[in-house]
């Protein structure tokens, strides 16, 4: 390496998720930050992030020629402001000026992280996780940074510019992409119209995870609070954040997302022989089953008393299918479920591989996929039909490519902002 790797400083601000170990939570991406302000000395952010009073950290602090590792890769640094995202990422604090030599050091560092994990992790800016100006000038250069890291990853040898790929002519693409999540949902509901409506808030994912199967049982479109056309023969509102005037509106709501989820399950679990178990803290795995015709229970760190009581009243023949690894849905929850009935788990190396494993499980013969890269688009995928949902990102989509090749997929519904370049890559 061309930079000095400093391990003399340790931050106390981290969590004990062993992200680098087998069958544990593993990083899915690298999050780029900028520290403080222009002209600030390298040791200032290092000292601050190593101070317990800060309540923050990163795995690495980098500038031209030197990198301080202040949190081990095997632990979760507190860098995004969202604990679930911390557990999925490696955080790098970069000099805010983004000088040429800073850029080269960070690119080489990223290549070394890729080598450590044996795969190329995509890059995100802090502002992709929550509203913030971080990582400043670095954000517009993330694509460039990724490709420069590829240069170092390949031994310093520049890769030839590949011939631009195009979507094969025998692949049929149907796009639904509005100006925002509400407009996209409108387009889907208008094209796949059903007589009834199930309405959820478009501001968060939780109630939508509960509502997909409910909408299926009610022959309804799942729509957002600002969608058009909520004058169905029957309208059901899930959650307390949606206000609809009029008669004949049924509201299913609880004190929190888990209680709301139970109210939904009471409406639609009858006759089901499988129950999907997914995290209520994150959307990815739940979105991947948005089209699957089984009810969904969201869980936190443990089964609540209400949840356990509800499950005790269900048929002993009910099979529980857990989505995600043990860091997503704990082993303790799995043991609780095993005391009640049969349990299976579907998990992959990351959320993208998990989505393809879900697709293989529930749609082994499908010739069509629904492609999404955001929760809001993925939730309303349930309106389209009985097809697998495959998650994509901005960079590497190896799991999606492998799935499409394996199944010979030639038809796709594409929801939201997914570029032709990404589609060309995964279908070639």
Report residue 6's pLDDT band, with 50, 70 and 90 as the boundaries. Answer: very high
Residue 228 has pLDDT above 90, yes or no: no
C-beta of residue 327 within 8 angstroms of C-beta of residue 25: yes
Say what the pTM is: 0.70
Residue 335 DSSP code: H
Residue 23 has pLDDT above 70, yes or no: no
The string of pLDDT tens digits covering residues 346-383 is: 998 888 999 999 999 999 999 999 999 999 999 999 99
The percentage of the chain sitting over the pLDDT mark of 70, rounded to a whole number, equals 93
User: Does residue 308 or residue 84 have the better pLDDT?
Assistant: 308
pLDDT of residue 111: 95
Q: What residue ranges do the domains of the chain occupy?
A: 4-153, 172-427
Report residue 233's pLDDT band, with 50, 70 and 90 as the boundaries. Answer: confident
User: Which range among 15-24, 131-140, 305-314 shows the weakest confidence by mean pLDDT?
Assistant: 15-24
Residue 105 has pLDDT above 50, yes or no: yes
Look at domain 4-153 and name its CATH class.
alpha beta
Residue 120 has pLDDT above 60, yes or no: yes
Helix axes 305-312, 257-268, angle to 10 degrees: 10
pLDDT of residue 398: 87
The percentage of the chain sitting over the pLDDT mark of 90, rounded to a whole number, equals 68
The string of pLDDT tens digits covering residues 364-374 is: 999 999 999 99
Burial 265-296 (b: 16+ CB within 10 A, else e): bebbbeebebbbbbbbbbbbbbbbbbbbebbb
Report residue 243's pLDDT band, with 50, 70 and 90 as the boundaries. Answer: confident
Residue 358 C-alpha from the chain's centroid = 14
Of the candidates 372, 360, 358, the residue with the CA atom closest to the CA atom of residue 324: 358
pLDDT of residue 157: 64
Average pLDDT, the chain: 90
User: Which range among 123-127, 154-158, 228-232, 365-369 shows the weakest confidence by mean pLDDT?
Assistant: 228-232
Mean pLDDT, range 403-428, rounded to an integer: 93
Using alpha carbons, list the distances in angstroms from residue 260 to 236, 240, 263.
13, 9, 5
Sheet holding 296-299, edge to edge: 296-299, 274-279, 319-323, 343-346
pLDDT of residue 274: 95
Mean pLDDT, range 203-228, rounded to an integer: 89
DSSP H stretches of helix in 227-317: 257-268, 284-288, 305-312
Mean pLDDT, range 212-226, rounded to an integer: 91
pLDDT of residue 158: 57
Widest pairwise Cα distance in the chain:
69
Burial 317-342 (b: 16+ CB within 10 A, else e): ebbbbbbbbbbbbbeebbebbeeeee
Report residue 17's pLDDT band, with 50, 70 and 90 as the boundaries. Answer: low
Residue 248 has pLDDT above 60, yes or no: yes
C-beta neighbour count of 399 within 10 angstroms? 24
């Amino acid at each position: 390496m061309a930079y000095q790797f400093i391990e003399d400083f340790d931050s106390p601000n981290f969590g004990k998720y062993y992200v680098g170990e087998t069958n544990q939570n593993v990083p899915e991406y690298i999050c780029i930050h900028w520290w403080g302000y222009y002209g600030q000395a390298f040791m200032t952010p290092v000292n601050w992030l190593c101070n317990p009073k800060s309540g923050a950290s990163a795995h690495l602090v980098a500038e031209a020629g030197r990198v301080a590792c202040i949190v081990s890769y095997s632990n979760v640094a507190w860098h995004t402001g969202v604990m679930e995202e911390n557990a999925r990422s490696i955080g790098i604090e970069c000099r805010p000026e983004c000088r040429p030599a800073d850029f080269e050091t960070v690119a080489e560092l990223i290549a070394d992280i890729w080598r450590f994990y044996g795969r190329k992790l995509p890059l995100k800016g802090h502002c992709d996780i929550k509203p913030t100006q971080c990582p400043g000038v670095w954000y517009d250069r993330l694509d460039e940074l990724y490709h420069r890291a590829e240069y170092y990853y390949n031994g310093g040898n520049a890769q030839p510019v590949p011939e631009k790929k195009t979507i094969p002519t025998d692949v049929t693409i149907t796009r639904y992409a509005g100006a925002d999540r509400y407009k996209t949902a409108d387009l889907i509901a208008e094209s796949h119209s059903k007589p009834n409506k199930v309405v959820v808030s478009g501001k968060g994912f939780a109630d939508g995870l509960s509502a997909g199967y409910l909408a299926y049982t009610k022959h309804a479109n799942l729509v957002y609070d600002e969608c058009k056309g909520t004058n169905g023969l029957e309208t059901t509102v899930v959650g307390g954040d949606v206000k609809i005037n009029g008669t004949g509106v049924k509201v299913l709501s609880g004190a929190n997302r888990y209680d709301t989820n139970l109210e939904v399950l009471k409406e639609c679990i009858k006759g089901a022989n499988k129950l999907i178990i997914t995290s209520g803290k994150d959307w990815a795995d739940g979105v991947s089953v948005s089209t699957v015709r089984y009810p969904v229970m969201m869980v936190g760190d443990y089964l609540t008393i209400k949840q356990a009581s509800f499950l005790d009243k269900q048929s002993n023949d009910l099979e529980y299918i857990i989505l995600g690894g043990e860091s997503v849905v704990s082993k303790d929850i799995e043991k609780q479920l095993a005391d009640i009935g049969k349990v299976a788990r579907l998990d992959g190396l990351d959320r993208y591989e998990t989505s393809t494993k879900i697709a293989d499980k529930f749609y082994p013969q499908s010739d069509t996929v629904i492609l999404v890269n955001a929760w809001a688009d993925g939730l309303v995928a349930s309106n389209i039909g009985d097809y697998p949902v495959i998650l994509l990102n901005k960079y590497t989509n190896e799991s999606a490519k492998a799935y499409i090749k394996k199944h010979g997929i030639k038809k796709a519904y594409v929801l939201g902002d997914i570029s032709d370049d990404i589609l060309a890559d995964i279908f070639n």
